[in-house]
Amino acid sequence: MQLLWRQAALLWRAKGYTLTQATDAMEARFGTNNGYGRSRVSILIKTQCEPCPPEAAEFILSNDEKTGLKVLNAKRWAKFQRELTAILEGDSKAPSAPVDLRELAKEAASLVTDTVRGWLDTAGGTLQAFATQGGALLSGLASKLDSAGSQLDSQNAKLDSTANKLDDVNAKLDGNGVKLDKLNAKLDSNGAKLDTLYKTANNTEALAEVIRAKMDTSEQRRRREHLRIMGAILGVGLLLTCVSRSGTAPTAPAQNVTVNVGQGATDVAGRRVPGRQGDATDPESRSAEQIAGDMGERHPTSEPVMMPHQPFPWQRVAPCPGSSKVMYGGCWYVTEEKAPCPSDQFQEGQKCYVPIHAKEPKSSSETAQPLNPEHH
């Protein structure tokens, strides 16, 4: 806007300033040597066509107390603004306004238009720059999004491949699990069979133990029965001998004749032959207490005789025959007696035993030897 001095005078008068006050304010703002003295400004106003400098025009138009010419008469300034607005809007009362005021209104309208246009141009340029920058940013963002989308697609493909591999591994694990279940079933079946075999073996061992005990008992019973029969036969023979001799003349004494009765022998007088059954030196004809006494172990007859921890000198040692047991290096038969054992047997734990002679006894089928003929 090109503001003339005469138009500037209208403005400061509308704000309540006189010429002197207005020029003093301009000199205070711009200095006294810049051509804003009262006399010079008065001449410029009268010329009707002198333009006002831009700095002076901006100062006069502004109402800011620090940078412009502030309003001294608010009523007059408000009236001036109403008249100026009416002129700009084409009010019917506006023609009575001064010509200078109309020109001022036109200049003001032009100033506003130019200012708004400048603002719009500036804003348009700024908006265009923003749009350009925004477009570039959006293009870069779109490129980045495309790249990110490609990477995501690649990652999805890798994840799909990994998922397929995991499915294959799971399938293999399931197959191995089925195989393991079958193996476990077979192992359980074999374990059950082994348990049955163990039970059968244990039952067989127990049955064999019972059979051995019964065989031992039967053998001992057979031996005792044999001894009783042979003793009875021997007694009858001795009785008949005494009866036959009671009716004859005295004769020379009979020689000692040994009668073989298996594990021992007696003479005609019924005495034991040394080294045979019934003699103190024959271990099988002595009780367990007597044998233990020879080993240095004395026990009262009311207590069981415990098995010695070494074999007797005459006792058979391993290997032992038949169902006999090896105990402390010697061979023993297990009897069916239970602890406490009788005096003719030895006790070890809760079982009773009898020792086995180093020489097997003669067969019980042997009969008594005939007596020697008498000597007269």
The verdict on residue 289 lying in a domain is no
Domain that holds residue 320: 299-359
| Pair 18, 80 in one domain | yes
The verdict on residue 69 lying in a domain is yes
Enumerate residue ranges in the chain where pLDDT < 50.
92, 94-97, 112, 116, 248-281, 285, 296-300, 362-376
| Pair 29, 114 in one domain | yes
The token duo for 229 is: 């029969």
CA distance 88 to 253: 193
* Crossing angle for the helix pair 74-89 and 99-245, to the nearest 10 degrees: 90
From residue 257, alpha-carbon distances to 5, 240, 280, 361, 374 in Å are: 191, 16, 19, 20, 11
Overall number of domains in the chain:
3
Tell me the pLDDT tens digit for each residue of 28-64: 999 988 889 999 999 999 887 889 899 999 998 888 8
Dihedrals phi, psi of 260, to nearest 5 degrees: -80, 115
The verdict on residue 142 lying in a domain is no
The verdict on residue 314 lying in a domain is yes
The verdict on residue 121 lying in a domain is yes
| Pair 186, 90 in one domain | no
Single-letter code of the amino acid located at 58:
E
Long-range contacts of 358-363 (CB under 8 A, 24+ apart): 358/314, 358/315, 358/316, 358/317, 360/321, 361/223, 361/262, 361/263, 361/284, 362/260, 362/262, 362/263, 363/262
Of 109, 128, 147, the residue that ends a domain is 128
Which letter does DSSP use for residue 270 in this model? S
| Pair 123, 181 in one domain | no
3-state SS class at 317: strand
The verdict on residue 154 lying in a domain is no
Closest CA to 336 of 225, 228, 218: 218
The verdict on residue 23 lying in a domain is yes
The verdict on residue 158 lying in a domain is no
Q: Decide if 360 contacts 342 (C-beta within 8 A).
A: no
